[in-house]
Amino acid sequence: MTDSDSRYSLVVGEGDGAMLGLAAGDSAGGLWELGYSAITEQATVIAYQLIEHGGLDAGSLVNALREMDGSGEEEPVFRMESPELRAWLDGAAAGRPVGAEEASLDGAPRAVPVGAAFRRDPGRLRHEALALGRLFHSETSSILAGMVTAGAVAAACFGQSGRDLAVGVVEAVGPAAETLAGEGHRGPDLAVLVKGLAALPDQVGVLDGEQALAVVSEAGVPDSWNLVKAGLLLSAPVVERSHVPVEQAAKIGGSPLAAMVGGIVGARVGIRAWPWAFANDTWFAEIGRRLVRGPREVRDLPIPYAVEQHLISGERQGRF
C-alpha cells in the first residue's frame, strides 16, 4: 500500500484532539513567540459557542470576540491578530463588522471546531462553515477555505486519511460552492477553485511542505488558496510521527496553515502530547472533549478572556 492509497486509521477519540492540535500548530508556526496567537483564541471562542449552544449565532459570536478585544474597560487580549481580523474587529466596534474583500487564510483554522462539532451531520457542517466564513469574508476562496478545513476535520474524526480524506473534502466542498455561486461574492470563479481541489486525491502522499505547495500551485488563484490545498495534502497521509505534517505546514504557511493542519491531524490522532510545549494544553484538550463528547456546558470551564488576560499578564511581568 502506498501513501496515495485510500485508507482509514483507527478512530481515536472521534476528533477530541482537534483543538489541542490546532493550538499546537499555531504555536509551532511562531506567530507569537511565546506560544499560540489570536488564531487559537478565535477558535476557542467559537468552540465555546458550539459547546454551549449547539451552533453559532452571529450576534453572540461578535460580542464574544469583541470582549476578547477589550470591548469594555478591559485591555485587549488578542495576540498577533492578522490585518484582516484587526479590520473586522474595528468594524465590529463601530457597530458593523465588514467581511474582508481580500483573499485570506484566516478562515481555514477558524473552522476547525465546526468540523469536530458537526462531524456526524454533513448538512449542518456545511451550513455552519459557510455562515462562519461569510461573517468574516466576502471573497470566495476565503469562505471556501473554512469549508475545506471543516470537511477535513470531520473526516479525520473517523480516522479517514489518504485519498479517502481528499475525496471526502472534494465531495463536501462541491455543494458548498454551489450554495455560494449565486451570492455574488468577489474573488476567483468557484468552478476554478473546486477543479483545483478535485485534483488533490491523485497527489496524496507528498510529505514535504515546499513540494506540496509546488504540486498544488496554480496560476489565477490566490496564494492563500494554494496554501489551503497544500495543507490538505500534507494532512492526508498517516505518518508515524504525526507532528511532522504540522512542522512542514509551518514552514510554508506559518501559524495559520500549521493550525489548520494541526486541527486535522489532531482530530485523527486524538489527545496526545505534542513535541513542543505551549500554554493551557489541558484546557484545549478538555474543550476538544466537550466538542465531541459533551457535556454541553461551559460554566465550569475557565472564561476565555480571563485565561488570555492571565497569560498576557504573566508574560508582561516576566519581561519587566
Q: How many Cβ atoms are within 10 Å of 237's Cβ, its own excluded?
A: 21
- The pLDDT, as a whole number, for residue 318 is 35
C-beta of residue 144 within 8 angstroms of C-beta of residue 193:
yes
Residue 169 has pLDDT above 80, yes or no: yes
DSSP letter assigned to residue 188: S
Whole-Å CA distances, 134 to 144, 179, 221, 279, 303: 10, 12, 19, 31, 26
Q: Kindly report the average pLDDT of the chain as a whole number.
A: 93
Query: Residue 234: CA atoms inside 13 Å, Cβ hemisphere, count?
Result: 36
Which CATH architecture is the domain 6-319 placed in? Orthogonal Bundle (1.10)
pLDDT tens digits, residue range 61-72? 999 999 999 987
Residue 19 has pLDDT above 60, yes or no: yes
Residues in CB range of 201: below 8 A, 6 or more apart: 163, 166, 167, 170
- The pLDDT, as a whole number, for residue 182 is 85
Which amino acid makes up residue 303? Answer: I
Q: Which three cell numbers stand for residue 55?
A: 451552533
Percent of the chain with pLDDT over 70: 95
Q: How many Cβ atoms are within 10 Å of 93's Cβ, its own excluded?
A: 13
- The pLDDT, as a whole number, for residue 305 is 96
For 273, counting Cβ atoms within 10 Å of its Cβ (0-12 exposed, 13-18 middle, 19+ buried), the class is exposed
C-alpha span between 193 and 126 (Å, rounded)? 17
Pick the residue with more confidence: 319 or 206? 206
Q: Which of 268, 260, 216, 213 is nearest to 237 (CA)?
A: 268
Residues in CB range of 111: below 8 A, 6 or more apart: 129, 132, 133, 145, 146, 147, 149, 150, 153
Query: Would you place residue 319 in the very low, low, confident or very high pLDDT band (cuts 50, 70, 90)?
Result: very low
C-alpha span between 211 and 205 (Å, rounded)? 11
- The pLDDT, as a whole number, for residue 32 is 95
pLDDT tens digits, residue range 25-48? 999 999 999 899 999 999 999 999
What is the rounded radius of gyration, in angstroms, for the C-alpha atoms of the chain? 18
C-alpha span between 269 and 283 (Å, rounded)? 18
Q: How many Cβ atoms are within 10 Å of 186's Cβ, its own excluded?
A: 11
Assign 93 to helix, strand or coil.
Answer: helix
pLDDT tens digits, residue range 172-200? 999 999 999 988 889 999 999 999 999 99
Tell me what the mean pLDDT of segment 122-139 comes to: 97
- The pLDDT, as a whole number, for residue 61 is 97
Tell me what the mean pLDDT of segment 79-90 comes to: 96
C-alpha span between 285 and 238 (Å, rounded)? 21
Q: Break the chain into its structural domains and give their ranges.
A: 6-319
Write down the residue that cell numbers 462541491 correspond to. 174
pLDDT tens digits, residue range 223-265? 999 999 999 999 999 999 999 999 999 999 999 999 999 999 9
Which amino acid makes up residue 228? Answer: V
Residue 320 has pLDDT above 60, yes or no: no
pLDDT tens digits, residue range 92-106? 999 999 999 999 999
- The pLDDT, as a whole number, for residue 4 is 42
pLDDT tens digits, residue range 276-291? 999 999 999 999 999 9
Query: Would you place residue 220 in the very low, low, confident or very high pLDDT band (cuts 50, 70, 90)?
Result: very high
Output phi, psi for 106, to 5 deg.
-55, -40
